[in-house]
Amino acid sequence: MNTFLSRLNTIFAFTLSVMAGLTFCCFLTTAFNEHKAPVYIGTGKAIVKNVPDYSATREKNDLGFVVFDMQADLSRIFNWNVKQLFLYLTAEYETKDHVLNQVVIWDKIIKRGENSVLDYRSSNTKYYFWDYGNGLKGNNNVTLTLSWNVIPNAGTLPKIRGEGSHKFKFPNEYSTNRL
Amino acid sequence: MSKEKMSGMFGFEFLDDVRRMNKRQLYYQVLNFGMIVSSALMIWKGLMVVTGSESPIVVVLSGSMEPAFHRGDLLFLTNYQEEPIRVGEIVVFKVEGRDIPIVHRVLKVHEKDDGHVRFLTKGDNNSVDDRGLYAPGQLWLEKKDVVGRARGFVPYVGIVTILMNDYPKFKYAILACLGLFVLIHRE
């Protein structure tokens, strides 16, 4: 049955299996990478307000404001099977109601080939730092960590926490003036 | 001679194979077809057991996670209940009133000491969080909304599914071709 169609079929099937094999090999070459890097994080003055959250329940919740410094060199994480890094700066803290709160206050996408050396000074947060309730006032143990989600061309999607974190506290009084 | 060649080129020659088959061979082919269908089903159900997710493989249908995931990329999911949900994770969740699950990233997590967790998601390519996509009045997702969490990624593979969804006729043509091929193909 050496028709034109069966030849086409064979070529197509062979191409597909070769591509699948190569993709898998590409994944294997980077499967055991650690993707780690040191990160420096610092913060400026933090203030907290108690204002209604009109994007949600309209009840008064704690809203934190903080400026941060951050330096990290992530260029060594990139290789031929890293399409992009998704960076996110997480504030992690404990409150009376919740044993664990995690709020992403800043994120950034770095595609391969783009600048992967971070240097931020007194940077504002990208997202509002809303607490669920009133747990930010006087909270003296808020930890900032930078993590990244490695997006490969093909393969697993590891979530890596950067080496280095920063703790800061919120004041015991609500701030009432405008920013 | 040239006429025969033409019919061969368009693949009608293979019908002769069917004519030459006896009953046994025909039964064999039908059973073979049944085998293929049932093993595909078994693999799917087996994956469901291993990964704990009700749909272990999903195709990305929208551009809301670009540039990480594009339309037609394939994601492998797991959904182990003992693994906690944390920010930065890419979850696939269902919202009441929407048929199609959504693949987005976790932006906020608030977990109580009894393990009850509320979280908020956002698509990387969207400028606002997902509260507008949730059911009316719903502000948070809970663990029961999660279909799975993305663990593995393969590009482009799901594009066939997208084509089939967009052009139903294409789907039936492919199914008919595959079925016909399996039934009449003789080794």
B106-141 pLDDT, tens per residue?
999 999 999 899 999 999 999 999 999 999 989 999
Backbone angles phi, psi at A139, to 5 degrees: -75, 115
pLDDT score, position A99? 95
Nearest to B9 among A3, A88, A153 (CB): A3
CB B151 to CB A156 under 8 A?
yes
User: Residues B136, B115: one domain?
Assistant: yes
- The domain A34-168 is placed in CATH, from the list 3.40.190, 1.10.287, 2.60.40, 1.20.5, at 2.60.40
pLDDT of res. B11: 54
The two three-digit tokens of residue A62, written as one number: 């704690």
Residue A94 is classified by DSSP as -
Task: Give the DSSP per-residue string, A6-69.
Answer: HHHHHHHHHHHHHHHHHHHHHHHHHTT-----BEEEEE---EEEEEE-TTTT-SEEEEEE--EE
For residue A87, list its beta bridge partners.
A108, A148
pLDDT at B13: 60
* CA distances (Å), origin B177, targets A159, B40, B120, B184: 42, 18, 44, 11
Residues B149 and B137 in one domain: yes
| B81 and B129 part of one domain | yes
Tokens of B89: 């994770």
The one-letter code for the residue type at A7 is R
- Are B147 and B161 within one domain? no
The token duo for A146 is 């930078």
What letter does residue B83 receive in the DSSP assignment? Answer: S
Do B125 and B140 lie in a common domain?
A: yes
B72 lies in the same domain as B43: no
Closest chain B residue to A57 measured between Cα atoms?
B139
Please tell me whether residues B69 and B46 are part of one structural domain. Answer: no
Q: How far is CA A119 from CA A70, A87, A109, B9, in A?
A: 6, 13, 15, 64
Q: How confident is the model at residue B8 (pLDDT cuts 50, 70, 90)?
A: very low
B173 shares a domain with B138: no
Per-residue exposure over A79-94, b if at least 16 CB sit within 10 Å of its own CB, e if not: eebbbbbbbbbbbbbb
CA–CA distance, B92 with B108 (Å, rounded to integer): 15
> What whole-number percentage of chain A has pLDDT above 70?
98
Q: Is there a catalytic annotation at residue B99? A: no
Give the distance from residue A176's alpha carbon to the nearest chain B alpha carbon, in angstroms: 26
Report how many domains make up chain B: 3
- Say if residue B113 is in the same domain as residue B168: no
- Is residue B127 part of the annotated active site? The answer reads no
- The reply to whether residue A98 touches residue B107, judged by beta carbons under 8 angstroms, is no
Whether B144 and B102 share a structural domain: yes
Range(s) of the domain holding residue B23: 1-51
Q: What is the pLDDT of residue B4?
A: 46
Domain ranges across chain A: 1-32, 34-168
Q: Is A161 on the interface with B (CB under 8 A)?
A: no
Greater confidence (B4 vs B165) lies with B165
Same structural domain for residues B150 and B69?
A: yes
Instruction: Check if B53 is active-site.
Output: no
Query: Mean pLDDT across the stretch B20-39?
Result: 86
The identity of residue A163, as a single letter, is: E
User: Closest approach of chain B CAs to the CA of A172, in angstroms?
Assistant: 22
| Pick from A6-10, B19-23, B77-81: least confident | B19-23
Mean pLDDT by groups of 10 residues along chain A of 179 residues: 83 95 95 93 93 87 94 94 95 94 95 94 94 92 95 95 94 81
CATH number of the domain where residue B106 is located: 2.10.109.10
A179 touches chain B (CB under 8 A): no
pTM for the whole structure: 0.85
Q: Which DSSP category does B84 fall into? A: P
User: Do residues B63 and B110 both lie within one domain?
Assistant: yes
| ipTM of the complex in this document | 0.89
Chain B residues near residue A98 by CB distance under 8 angstroms: 110-113
**Would an 8 Å CB–CB cutoff place B90 in contact with chain A?**
yes
